[in-house]
Amino acid sequence: MSLTLEEVRHVASLARLSLSAEEETLMRTQLSAILDAVAELSQVDTSAVEPTSHAAGEVAPWRPDEVRPSFPPEKALGNAPAEVGTSFAVPRIIE
Amino acid sequence: MSVADFQPVIGLEVHAQLLTRSKIFCGCSTEFGARPNAHTCAVCLGMPGALPVLNEKVVEYAVRVGRALECRINPVSIWARKNYFYPDLPKGYQISQYDQPLCEHGGLEIDGEDGPRRIRILRIHLEEDAGKNVHDPGGGDSLVDLNRSGVPLVEIVSEPDLRSSSEAAEYLKALRDVLVYLGVNDGNLEEGSFRCDANVSVMRKGSTQYGTRVELKNINSFRFVQKAIDYEIGRQVELIESGGKVTLETRLFDPVRGETRSMRSKEEAHDYRYFPEPDLPPLRIPAGFVERIERELPELPRAKLHRFTASYGLPAYDAKILVGDRPLADLFEQVQAVYRGPAKKLSNWFLGELLRLMKEEVREVGALRFSPAQFAALLQMVDSGELSNNAAKDVFAEMFRTGRDPREIAQEKGLLQTQDTGAVGAAVDAVLAANPGEVEKYRAGKKQVFGFLVGQVMKAMKGKGNPALVNAALKTKLGD
C-alpha cells in the first residue's frame, strides 16, 4: 500500500473533505491502487524525452489587450448564496 | 552579544500589477474603483467550462521587466495551478507559474551601504491576482469583490542578497523606479498595485550557515519595510540570545503597534499542490519577440543617473531627485537643451522653486502650464542681467501659475533691469555729484565706499539697474 492513513487524512483536509473511518480506509486502498498503476510508468526510460506538460494543442492564441463587456453585477451574483450590495457575502473569515 | 553580532539576510518578493487595460485571461476591465463585481465574467468568476485566453500585452510587459532586470527569458514556460481555498479565489486555484517561470537569473544594481551592489534576481513569473475580501469592523459577513480577480501580476523574487533593512528599502525603491520607467506599473504601494513580502533571517557574523527564515507580509509602504524588517531582526536576535529557536512561519506586520506577529493559520501552509494548468498550453515566446522588446526599452533610471552626473556634471544628490521622476528628468533635459547654461544652475531651480511650487499645488509634470522654452528664456534673462535672481523667482511663480511668457510678466511687473547704458551712466553721474565726500574718500583709497555708491545708484534706479552695468559704469567714472 503506497499511501499511509495519515497521508489520506492530510489530502482530505486540503480538499476540505470530511471522511469517516471506513471511507479513509477505502480511499487509502483506491488511491494507492491508482498510484501503483501510475508508478508502473517509471519503468520506462524517459531520460531522452521532453516532458509533456500539456496534452492538447501546443499553440494557444493570445488575445489583444481590449476591454470586453463584463456581466452586470446582478448576473455575476446569480449563484451567490448571499449578497450585500453587489458583493458576495460569506461567513466571516477573520476574527 | 547583540544585534551587531548578527548578520541579517533578506530577500524580497514583490508583486507588481501590470498596467494593462483588460485582465490577464479575459476581457474584463482592470480599472480601479468600480462597483463591486462590476468587472467580472464567466472566466474571472471561475464558472465551470470557462477557458482562459492569454492577454498578449501581459507577455510583452513581463518580458520588458525581465530584460530590464537582466534576466534570461525562457522560450518556453509553464502555467501552473496553485491550489488553496479562500473566498477571494473563486476557482479554488490561482493560475501562476511554478518550476518553469518566464524569467530567471537577473539582477538590479542599487546603492548599498558600502557603494554600488548588484542584487541578484532569482526569478520573475506571471500570475493572476485574487479578489478582495472586505470585513465589516462591526462584525457580520465577509464581503467578496472579484473585480481584482484575474488582474495581471508579475512576481519578482530576489536572492537573499540584502544585508540590512535600509538596503531592502533601497532595492525596493530602485525596483519601483524601473517598473514605473518601463510604463508597466504605477508604483503605488498604498493602493496595492506594488506589494512586498520579505524573507528575513539572521546568522552570527562570520557564519556561512543561513538561519531559519521568517516571511513578513503586509508591508505596504517604504517606511514600513524598514520598520518591519528591523523589528523582525531584533526579535530573532533576542530569541536566539535567550536560547530559543526561530521557527519557519509567516508573520504579519502591524503598522499601528510597529511589530510583527504570527499568523495563526489553520491551513497547512505552503502545501499548494502545484501542477501544470491543463487549460493553458505552455507559454511559448515567438522568435524575435524578446529582441523587439529590447529595442524598445527606455533608458533605465540607473543609466540615466550615471548620465546626469557624468554629462551634466550634476551632484549625485541632484541627479537622484531629478531621475526619481521620469517626466521631471525629461523636462530638465528639454529645458537644458534650450538654455545651454550651467546645468547646476538649472538643477537648483528644479530642486528649489519648481519642486516647491509643485508640492504646494500638487501638480504632475504633465500638468505644468509653461513650456521648456519659457523656463529656459527666464534663466537666460537672469544670466544676461535683465532680471535679478529674486525678481526671477516672482516671474517664475507667475509663469508657473499662468503659463504666460516670462518676458511679458517681467515687463508688466516692471522687474526688468535696464540694459540702457545711457540711463545707467546718468544715474551714476547724479549719484557721484550728490556724494562728493564719498567720492573723495574712495579716491583716497577707502575702497569699501564702492558698495555704498552702488547701493545709491540702484536706489536711484528703483532696483532696475543691471548690477554688472552699474559696477562697470561706476568704476569707469571713478577712474579705476
List the grid coordinates of A82: 448571499
Q: Is there a single domain that holds both residue B366 and residue B461? A: no
What does the angle CA B111 – CA B112 – CA B118 come to, to the nearest 5 degrees?
80
Report chain A residues whose CB lies below 8 A from the CB of B22: 65-68
Cα separation, B118 vs B109, in Å, equals 4
Report chain B residues whose CB lies below 8 A from the CB of A88: 37, 87, 143-146
Phi-psi region of B423 (alpha: psi -120 to 50; beta: other; left: phi over 0): alpha
What per-residue confidence (pLDDT) applies to B139? 72
Helix/strand/coil for A49: coil
Q: Which of B267, B292, B317 is the last residue of a domain?
A: B292
Q: Is there a single domain that holds both residue B398 and residue B471? A: no
Q: Where are the beta strands (DSSP E) in A1-95?
A: 83-84, 87-90
Asked if the Cβ–Cβ distance from A65 to B22 is below 8 Å, we say yes
Cα separation, B448 vs B412, in Å, equals 36
Q: Which of B273, B292, B311 is the last residue of a domain?
A: B292
Q: Is there a single domain that holds both residue B448 and residue B467? A: yes
Q: Is there a single domain that holds both residue B254 and residue B393? A: no
**ipTM of the complex as predicted:** 0.87
Q: Which of B360, B398, B352, B355 is nearest to B378 (CA)?
A: B398
How far A82 CA sits from the closest chain B CA (Å)? 10
Residue with more model confidence, B454 or A91: A91
How far B233 CA sits from the closest chain A CA (Å)? 28
Residue B333 contacts by C-beta under 8 Å, 6 or more apart in sequence? none
Asked if the Cβ–Cβ distance from B143 to A86 is below 8 Å, we say no
Q: Is there a single domain that holds both residue B71 and residue B139? A: yes
Cα separation, B236 vs B284, in Å, equals 44
> For the segment A20-37, what is each residue's pLDDT rounded down to a tens digit?
999 999 999 999 999 999
pLDDT over threshold 80, residue A39: yes
Cα separation, B79 vs B58, in Å, equals 14
Give residue for cell 499511509.
Answer: A4
Q: Which of B366, B391, B413 is the last residue of a domain?
A: B413
Backbone angles phi, psi at B175, to 5 degrees: -65, -45
- Tell me which residue range forms the domain holding B406: 300-413
Q: Which of B346, B383, B341 is nearest to B468 (CA)?
A: B383
Tell me which residues of chain B, numbers 100 to 159, contact chain A at a CB-CB cutoff of 8 Å.
133-135, 139-146
Report chain B residues whose CB lies below 8 A from the CB of A92: 135, 139-142
What per-residue confidence (pLDDT) applies to B452? 84
What per-residue confidence (pLDDT) applies to B266? 44
How far B200 CA sits from the closest chain A CA (Å)? 26
Q: Is there a single domain that holds both residue B323 and residue B466? A: no
Asked if the Cβ–Cβ distance from A58 to B281 is below 8 Å, we say yes
Q: Is there a single domain that holds both residue B128 and residue B187? A: yes
Regions of chain B where pLDDT drops below 70: 1, 264-270, 362, 418-420, 480
Q: Which of B157, B233, B249 is nearest to B196 (CA)?
A: B157
Using a CB cutoff of 8 Å and minimum separation of 24, what contacts does A51-59 make?
Answer: A53/B78, A53/B276, A53/B282, A54/B276, A54/B278, A54/B280, A54/B281, A54/B282, A55/B278, A56/B278, A56/B281, A57/B281, A58/B281, A58/B282, A58/B284, A59/B281, A59/B284
CB B147 within 8 A of CB B132: yes
Q: Is there a single domain that holds both residue B20 and residue B108? A: yes
Q: Is there a single domain that holds both residue B270 and residue B311? A: no
Question: How many structural domains compose chain B?
Answer: 3
Query: Which of B21, B26, B37 to substitute to test the interface with A, most A CBs within 10 Å?
Result: B37
CB B182 within 8 A of CB B108: no
What per-residue confidence (pLDDT) applies to A22? 95
Would you report the helix, strand and coil content of chain B in percent, each value rounded to 5? 40, 20, 40
Asked if the Cβ–Cβ distance from A86 to B26 is below 8 Å, we say no
Q: Is there a single domain that holds both residue B322 and residue B435? A: no
Considering only the beta carbons, identify the residue of B36, B57, B278 that sits closest to A73: B36
Q: Is B40 on the interface with A (CB under 8 A)?
A: yes
What per-residue confidence (pLDDT) applies to B163? 92
Q: Is there a single domain that holds both residue B266 and residue B341? A: no
Q: Which of B55, B62, B83, B63 is nearest to B18 (CA)?
A: B62
Angle separating helix axes B56-68 and B165-181, nearest 10 degrees: 130
How far A26 CA sits from the closest chain B CA (Å)? 22
Q: Is B261 on the interface with A (CB under 8 A)?
A: no
How far B364 CA sits from the closest chain A CA (Å)? 27
What per-residue confidence (pLDDT) applies to B268? 47
CB B54 within 8 A of CB B24: yes
CATH number for the domain spanning B457: value is 1.10.10.410
Give residue for cell 534650450.
Answer: B338
CATH of domain A5-42: 1.10.20
Q: Is there a single domain that holds both residue B65 and residue B206? A: yes
